[in-house]
Structure 1
Amino acid sequence: MTTHDLTVISAVEHPALPKKPFTGRHLIDGGWRDSLDGATFVRRSPAHGTLASVSAKGGADDVEAAVAAARRRFDDGRWSFTSGKQRAALLTRVAELIDRELERIALLETLESGKPISQARAEIEGAADLWRYAAALARTIHGDSHNSLGPDMLGFVLKEPVGVVSIVTPWNFPFLIVSQKLPFALAAGCTAVIKPSELTPSTTVILGELLLEAGLPDGVVNIVLGYGKPVGAVMTTHADVDMVSFTGSTAVGKTIVASAAASLKKVSLELGGKNPQVLFPDADLDSAIDAIVFGVYFNAGECCNSGSRIIVHKDIAEEVIERVVELSKKVPFGDPLHPDTKVGAIISPEHCRKIDGYVKTAAKDGAEIRLGGGELAVPGLPGQFYQPTVVANVTGVMSVAREEVFGPVLSVLTFDTLDEALILANASSYGLSAGVWSESVHTCLEFARRARAGTIWTNTWMDGFAELPFGGFKESGQGRELGRYGLEEFLEVKTLQMRLGQSRELWLNSR
């Protein structure tokens, strides 16, 4: 059915809905535990309003126990000194178990996050592929040797696991993002403590179940549920933690860097983005407009890689806006449990109000709301949804053009020349990804060389592969995930120098 010319999918009956909420507990040293103080918290479905999960609410003492377990297990070498073959075999078993539990994981992720069930299934499939890729990498870790240091010296460069890693993951892709981090850390030989978002804790708990079933030694992976304070704060400052891997907001990332400075922990950050797509007059508009609509509405725009702004040549700007508006009306918003739904619920009422605030401010500042611009009522569902929204006449100084809205809101800017397009594309504190649409390879290559972003897409948007590194420039983060670079994040380099025989000249010869 359509409401105000939008495509809206009403609530459906779903026989697979669980009869009772998922119960989540901490995984510490191989055992499932309630919080030491008995505290719990609940998560209600942002789409359906039903009680999705009841979880243990961790405190500082729970984190202490988890870090101590990870520290003991790393130091005793039961995981850090296993062979690459053994690690690879275990990671492969985990991937197989993820495949087996796909439907269970996807349903719970949909209930807690509000994303469409079809999208959740695809993400779980992608996560299993990441575990398999990390398994392949586990057997390839090696250093270097140097035999050109003279007749009596040999030099070696060793690659060793960094140690205990605190992994903090967000709510928008809870199972996929933990799978962008944990299997690479395990392939390197690290041990870990994980804190999933309090809004989407449960699929990480299921992953813990699968790790134990696969035979991971106790204490190698520990999971503490709860809130950023105190759980995340203790995990990122603890003296026995060697590295922090965090995905989330830039503001929190800066806090983690500041707190980690006291002990000079290694920090890997995947943060926000304000990602531009630049359209030249010779672009294939059919492909570009479809990609624009996908890029801004995928995961309801709650995505660091969201294509949240387009920079369009003035000669084609009006045509592009009109076609994007018309295609946006055809995107099915609504019940995330319906197989045809493409866009589900917004994660929380507070976030829905934040999205709407950006749109209202843009209109006040002189932008033109060409579509949407308000909450969306979905028949039969009490949750929060936001309309597909297109904002035109945007200038580079407006907050909707510069800041991460994290919702289904597209900002449209215009340009005359390539240089002007690059100025607009780079005029952001973020630098996660960018795209260019042109049939000229010269235009695409020049843009790719000059755009300040970690990923550049040409004539496509948001393709991803386990083999290719992911991460950003500027305030979009530091370090890389995925690919061989993602494995290297969890390794330290050690130099070993060996003198052969008794060839060393004495510095002080008293004879």
Structure 2
Amino acid sequence: MSKEIIVKNPATGEIVKEVKINSEEEINEAIKQGHDSFKKWSKVNAHERSRLLSNWSRIIQEHKEEIAEMMTLENGKPLSESRGEVDYATSYIDWYAEEAKRIYGRTVPASTETKRIIVSKQPIGLVAAITPWNFPAAMMTRKAAPALAAGCPFIVKPAVETPLTTMRLVELAHEAGIPTDVIQYVNGSGSVVGRIFTSSEYIRKITFTGSTPVGKQLIKESAETVKHVTMELGGHAPLIVAEDADLDFAIKQTMATKFRNAGQTCVCANRIIVHENIADAFSKKLAEEASKLKVGNGFDQDTQVGPIINEKGFSKIVAQIEDAIEKGAEVLAGNQYKADKEAGYFFIHPTVLINVNLDMVIMQEETFGPVAPIITFKTLEEAVEIANNTPFGLAAYFFTNNYKTGTYLHDHLDYGIIGWNDGAPSGAHIPFGGMKESGLGREGGVEGIEPYLETKYLSVGNL
């Protein structure tokens, strides 16, 4: 078994760095250190925790270009997107630096004159996180910031494809004054580290962003020690374009949500559902705009779409496109590849498909790539049926200028995040999370700190 993770640049296949895999003994020692630090960290007053988080955010911003370049090197996304992700990452730290000071309790009127009831919140304990490769900075801080703000020590296992960004962020947290045993990282395979995390008696909460099958396994394993879990799992986002939608605006927003990070995000629009009366105009315009996107190395200034992360992801996307074509889909744009298995890089040009039907794999499984399949509808009921026909319920989008149509779609779409005339609804101040098999719990907003807190009440009698 290899003792190192080989981090490669997905745009070139070149080795960036070799990272040591932590042994089981090392991981357990880090967990024990995190557990032991809980007693002290949980007693640090909220204003001091807030100050340290603010320091961390400031130091990350001072190293913004370094971190963005590291992210593009190991992830492949355009440098402009990496810079944006650094800002997104620190926005979570800034938000929870403030929320640390707003963990409130309350008093409850008692049922007798001789009692007083007091409700308080306290940190849950050591938190373990497993984060994905597609947003190596923001997905880590979205978990670490509320945990630390609540008074919980934090240990993270980053994705094997992109550990360098997370490792650097943890180092900067230490420079900011957060103790080394309060925020830590470990490296290794997800199955090995996941098993260690879920079986540990010292870890009280698991927070995970990744695929639904892995999330289900973590939930099962966490049940043995009754750990709290937050799960941000797979998506299969629909994007509905109503007949009255502003077509140019809908196209612009569809481009933003579909092709960001080469379509490798959990909230990317995966199924474009367009009213039949405007489908031809919408499809041609979307194909025209998609064809303009520059595909290439993320370090090239004009690149807008970077590489697919690895061969496995590339093969899945190509198989979905080929399946759709075999079943009658027509390619309006894209379906072009630049790939070298031996060298280790894989690019797919933004692809637009029409004449799509529900029998195609691309309409049933998450794509995680730059492919926009377009299917048509006649009635809103039909659009909602297509949209909800999935076990997933993370993000959905719709475009209409009719408030009745918008209200109907909001009320009937089974998704935790919905954008109405908005292709980018994410933010540190909103509760991010899904319904059905897309997850448990919320991250961000005032709701995002609650999963790191226990509620206890005190009943004082004989007053």
* TM-score interval, smaller chain: over 0.9
CA contact (8 A) 1:470 1:480 kept: yes
- CA deviations 1:302-345 (Å, max 9, x no partner) are 10000121110011111111111111011111121022211111
Unmatched 5+ stretches in structure 2: none
Alignment of 1:307 onto 2:269: yes
Contact 2:310 2:344 in 1 (8 A): no
1:115-134 to 2 correspondences below 5 Å: 115-134=77-96
| 1:65 pairs with one of 19, 22, 29 | 29
Residue 260 of structure 2 is aligned to residue 298 of structure 1? yes
1:144 pairs with one of 99, 106, 121: 106
- For residue 444 of structure 1, report the CA deviation from its aligned partner: 0.6
Distance in 1 (CA, whole Å) between partners of 2:230 and 2:344 is 38
Q: Secondary structure at the match of 2:358?
A: coil
Q: Does 1:237 align with 2:208?
A: no
Give the 4+ runs in structure 1 shifted more than 4 A: none
Q: Please point out which of 298, 319, 335 is paired with 2:281.
A: 319
* Change beyond 3 A, Cα 1:373–1:237: farther
Give the structure with higher Rg (CA).
1
Identify the residue that residue 57 of structure 2 maps to in structure 1. Answer: 95
Counterpart mapping for 1:402-481 below 5 A: 402-481=364-443
Q: Indicate the SS of the match to 1:384.
A: strand
Counting matched residue pairs gives 461
Confirm or deny: 8 A CA contact 1:152 1:500 kept in the other structure: yes
Report the CA distance between 1:257 and its aligned residue: 0.9
Partner of 1:333, secondary structure, is coil
Q: Which moved more, 1:62-71 or 1:234-243?
A: 234-243
Q: What is aligned with 1:10?
A: none
* Residue type of the alignment partner of 1:201: P
Partner of 2:161: 199
2:25 counterpart letter in structure 1: D
Residues 129-161 of structure 1 deviation map (CA, whole Å, 9 limit, x = unaligned): 211111000000011112433221111111111
Query: 2:447 maps to what in 1?
Result: 485
Aligned to 2:457: 495
C-alpha RMSD of matched pairs (Å): 1.6
**Secondary structure, in 3 states, of the residue corresponding to 1:334?**
coil
TM alignment of 1:27-106, pairs within 5 A: 39-74=3-38, 77-106=39-68
Letter in 2 for 1:467: H
Structure 2 counterparts to residues 170-249 of structure 1, below 5 A: 170-249=132-211
Letter in 2 for 1:44: K
Superposed, which structure 2 residues align to 1:219-368 within 5 Å? 219-368=181-330
1:319 maps to amino acid: A
Alpha-carbon shift at residue 94 of structure 1 (Å):
0.2
Quote how far apart the aligned CAs of 1:128 are: 1.2
| Distance in 2 separating the partners of 1:370 and 1:346 | 21
CA offset at residue 111 of structure 1?
0.5
Aligned to 2:356: 394
Question: Contact 2:16–2:74 (CA<8 Å) still a contact in 1?
Answer: yes
Partner SS state of residue 190, structure 1 = coil
Shift of 1:382: 6.8
Q: Tell me the equivalent position of 1:161.
A: 123
Partner Cα separation in structure 2 for residue 382 and residue 194 of structure 1: 27
SS at match of 1:470: coil
SS at match of 1:297: helix
What do residues 147-182 of structure 1 show as CA deviations (whole Å, max 9, x unaligned)? 433221111111111111110000000101101110
SS at match of 2:229: strand
Query: C-alpha displacement at 1:121, in angstroms?
Result: 0.4
Shift of 1:55: 0.7
Q: Offset at 1:377?
A: 6.0
Cα offset for 1:360?
1.0
Q: Which amino acid aligns with 1:135?
A: A
Question: Counterparts of 1:487 and 1:339 in 2: how far apart (Å)?
Answer: 38
**What CA distance in whole angstroms lies between the structure 1 residues aligned with 2:401 and 2:180?**
55
What CA distance in whole angstroms lies between the structure 1 residues aligned with 2:176 and 2:350?
Answer: 43
AA aligned opposite 1:219: D
- Paired with 2:339 and 2:185, the residues of 1 have a C-alpha distance of 37
2:76 is aligned to 114
1:273 aligned counterpart, secondary structure: coil
Name the aligned partner's letter for residue 370 of structure 1: L
Distance 2:240 2:358 in 1: 14
Q: Is the contact made by 1:149 and 1:155 (CA closer than 8 Å) also made in structure 2?
A: no
Shift in Å at residue 48 of structure 1? 2.2
Deviation by residue 1:238-290 (Cα, 9 ceiling, x = unmatched)? 22211100000111011111111111111100011111111111100001011
**In the alignment, residue 240 of structure 1 is paired with which amino acid?**
Y
State TM-score, norm by structure 2: 0.97
Unaligned regions of 5+ residues in structure 1, if any? Answer: 1-36, 502-511
- Report what 1:369 is aligned to: 331
- CA separation in 1, counterparts of 2:403 and 2:420? 9
Q: 1:38 to 1:458 in 2, by over 3 A?
A: closer
For residues 237 and 414 of structure 1, what CA distance do their matches in structure 2 show? Answer: 48
Deviation at 1:389, TM superposition (A): 1.0
Post-superposition offset of 1:496: 1.1
**Does the CA-based 8 Å contact 1:58-1:227 persist in structure 2?**
no
Q: Does 1:385 align with 2:356?
A: no
Question: Hey, what's the Cα distance between the residues in 1 that align with 2:422 and 2:445?
Answer: 20
Letter paired with 2:435 = F
1:372 deviation in Å?
Answer: 2.0
CA contact (8 A) 1:156 1:496 kept: yes
Deviates more, 1:211-220 or 1:415-424: 211-220
The amino acid of 1:449's aligned partner reads: D
Q: Distance in 2 between matches of 1:211 and 1:167?
A: 16
1:207–1:436 CA distance, 2 compared to 1 (3 A)? same
- How far apart, in 1, do the equivalents of 2:334 and 2:300 lie? 22
Q: In 2, are the aligned partners of 1:356 and 1:374 still within 8 Å (CA)?
A: no
Give the aligned residue type for 2:37.
Answer: R
Distance 2:83 2:462 in 1: 58
Higher helix share: 2
Q: Which moved more, 1:347-356 or 1:245-254?
A: 347-356
Match of 1:364, as an amino acid? E
